Structure 1
Amino acid sequence: MTIPTTAYAVAVFLVLVLPGIVYGVVRATVSGNRPHDRGWTPRVLQAILVSILLDTVYLLVLGKTAVSWVTEGTDTLRAHPRLAALAVLCLGLLVPALLAYLRHGEPRWREARAIGRFPVRVPARGTTNSPVPTAWDQVASRLEGRWVRIRLSDGRWVGGWFATKSFVSTYPEPRDIFIEDQHHIAPDGTIGDPVNATAGVWVSLKDGDIVEWLYP
């Protein structure tokens, strides 16, 4: 496959391939991830198929105009740069995004206020599905300023103070957690004194490990 190098070739490539990519991103955003979305192959195939379908429709609608844009090359881009940019914006971004939203979303409206006083109705997500793959990804990184304790599958406890220098990994990486201030944990789960000279502790989480966050 030849990599496009000229500005015109890049623009044509975007119009041909971008619709499928945009469609997939918007679909996942409005309707949530499906099980097979976690693999690259189904997502690439979907992007290719959607791009082929939309490009065929564009060709049917625009006819000779679309052919002339491609065959005349950089002359068209130099003569009508704004028209070329508008084509990429509409055909590559807006049309596939709108189709994905209408096909997979459940449009609902909520009231928002512009500049604090004028009510405006804006679209809101109308699906219970979430683009966030797991509950861990949704909340784990937001729970700063709390105690955290982990009961490992072998019965041991690890924990400490989870704050701004702490960190958790999220999808697609395996779950792990860095606790910046490690404390001793009693067999009953009681959090005790800090570990001497602690600079933090890293834990690779396995199935069966239980992570708890506690208010101070």
Structure 2
Amino acid sequence: MPTSFEAVAALLVALIPGALYIWSFERMAGRWGIGLSDRIFRFVGASAIFHAVLAPVTYWLWTSRWPSIAIGDSHPLWLWLIAVVYVAAPLMVGTALGAVARGRSGWARWITGPDPAPRAWDYLFQGERDGWVRIKLKTGGWIGGAYATYGELKSYSAGYPEQQDIFLARSVDLDPATGEFQFDQDGSVRLGAGGILVRWEEIEYLEYIDA
């Protein structure tokens, strides 16, 4: 365990890149960690990778600059760039990879694995996609709506580890007995007046249809 201020500072510097990477990745892709221990291993491992890549710079900094830092000498302004890159690189990489994983890009599997989503719910609603949703409630009624991720009206589904719920940007008219979509005279789906928010506990059956 650290026994001095310098040791604590060195420990924080060692772990910050991984913590920033995990924070920025989960900000884009969702908090898909199994638990606290899993997330700790992730950001410690990410820190190790970043330090390995930047080892030449770290070695130069400690061997050539640390003695003067300790006695308080002035330093050139360009040293500030090292701190900027040190913080910005994990943030940019984590954000970019999180966006790629959320967008279902094929090559993202090399980073996230073939099935990164922890639940079928997260797999179905991850990424940007548009479609129609039909829901049979446990009460026996049917409701439906448009699941939209483009334009001004956007739908939303809660991701792991939050409780599953879904917001449909626009409701649609369904047959109350069969759940069949109702259409206007021009053949388009008949839209309702507003959106719908549904909790998983209320759902007996859910069907997703790509638009």
Equivalent in 183, 189, 194 of residue 199 of structure 1: 194
Structure with the bigger percentage of strand: 1
Q: Letter of the 2:155 partner, please give it.
A: F
Return 5+ residue gaps in structure 1 as ranges: 1-10, 98-109, 111-122
Instruction: Call closer, same or farther: CA 1:182–1:166 in 2, change over 3 Å.
Output: farther
Instruction: Call closer, same or farther: CA 1:69–1:151 in 2, change over 3 Å.
Output: farther
Return 5+ residue gaps in structure 2 as ranges: 1-8, 94-105, 184-188
Tell whether the 8 Å contact from 1:18 to 1:93 is kept in structure 2 after alignment. no
When normalised by structure 1's length, the TM-score is 0.51
Aligned to 1:21: 19
Tell whether the 8 Å contact from 2:21 to 2:46 is kept in structure 1 after alignment. yes
Aligned to 2:96: none
Tell whether the 8 Å contact from 1:177 to 1:204 is kept in structure 2 after alignment. yes
Q: Distance in 1 between matches of 2:87 and 2:197?
A: 47
Q: Distance in 2 between matches of 1:175 and 1:92?
A: 33
Q: Letter of the 2:167 partner, please give it.
A: F
Tell whether the 8 Å contact from 2:171 to 2:191 is kept in structure 1 after alignment. no
Q: Distance in 1 between matches of 2:145 and 2:44?
A: 48
Tell whether the 8 Å contact from 2:143 to 2:179 is kept in structure 1 after alignment. no
SS in 2 for 1:150: strand
SS in 2 for 1:206: helix
Alignment of 1:85-100 (within 5 A): 85-86=81-82, 89=85, 93=89
Q: Letter of the 2:157 partner, please give it.
A: S
Aligned to 1:174: 163
Deviation (angstroms), 1:157: 1.9
Aligned to 1:148: 133
1:117-145: per-residue Cα shift (whole Å, max 9, x none)?
Answer: xxxxxx8753643555445445536342x
Tell whether the 8 Å contact from 1:185 to 1:192 is kept in structure 2 after alignment. yes
Deviation (angstroms), 1:22: 5.2
Deviation (angstroms), 1:15: 3.9
Aligned residues: 172
Tell me the C-alpha RMSD between the 2 structures.
5.1
> Identity percentage over the alignment?
24
Q: Is 2:205 the partner of 1:210? A: yes
Deviation (angstroms), 1:212: 1.4
Q: Distance in 1 between matches of 2:45 and 2:146?
A: 49
